[in-house]
Amino acid sequence: ETGVTQTPRHLVMGMTNKKSLKCEQHLGHNAMYWYKQSAKKPLELMFVYSLEERVENNSVPSRFSPECPNSSHLFLHLHTLQPEDSALYLCASSQVAAVRSYNEQFFGPGTRLTVL
């Protein structure tokens, strides 16, 4: 596998379920991101792990919990979600040299999540 991969590609869950989304990058990058993509809304940055720090969007509800065990793997743990959480969840990675630096972000194919 090359690039950024995500599993599962599709997920249907009830509001009481607990599930996890997985992302893996094979690019040797040191930063990983979770985005939420809803219809007619901007790509919304949820969490970033980079340079041993975690940055989070304060508007993301606590029912979303990220985990980054190493620089190649990123998880998004889901529990007691709401129907409005149905969206495409995209993972991305990039190479970051310093806090005040930037580089191309490479996206995974996304997980299409439906909450019933």
Partner 1 sequence: GENVEQHPSTLSVQEGDSAVIKCTYSDSASNYFPWYKQELGKRPQLIIDIRSNVGEKKDQRIAVTLNKTAKHFSLHITETQPEDSAVYFCAANLNSGYALNFGKGTSLLVTP
Give me the residues that bind partner 1 (CB under 8 A), please: 4, 31, 33, 40-45, 48, 50, 55, 90, 94, 96, 99-105, 107-110
Minimum Å distance from CB 13 to partner 1?
A: 21
Q: Which of 2, 44, 4, 31 is nearest to 102 (CA)?
A: 31
Minimum Å distance from CB 14 to partner 1?
A: 25
Decide whether 4 or 81 has the Cβ nearer to partner 1.
4
Decide whether 50 or 85 has the Cβ nearer to partner 1.
50
Residue given tokens 């930063």 in the structure block:
31
Decide whether 79 or 96 has the Cβ nearer to partner 1.
96
Pairing of strands 87-94, 31-37: antiparallel
Minimum Å distance from CB 36 to partner 1?
A: 11
Residue 106 burial class via C-beta count within 10 angstroms: exposed 0-12, middle 13-18, buried 19 and up: middle
* CA 27 and chain centroid, separation: 16
Decide whether 80 or 95 has the Cβ nearer to partner 1.
95
Minimum Å distance from CB 83 to partner 1?
A: 22
CA angle 63-17-4, nearest 5°? 70
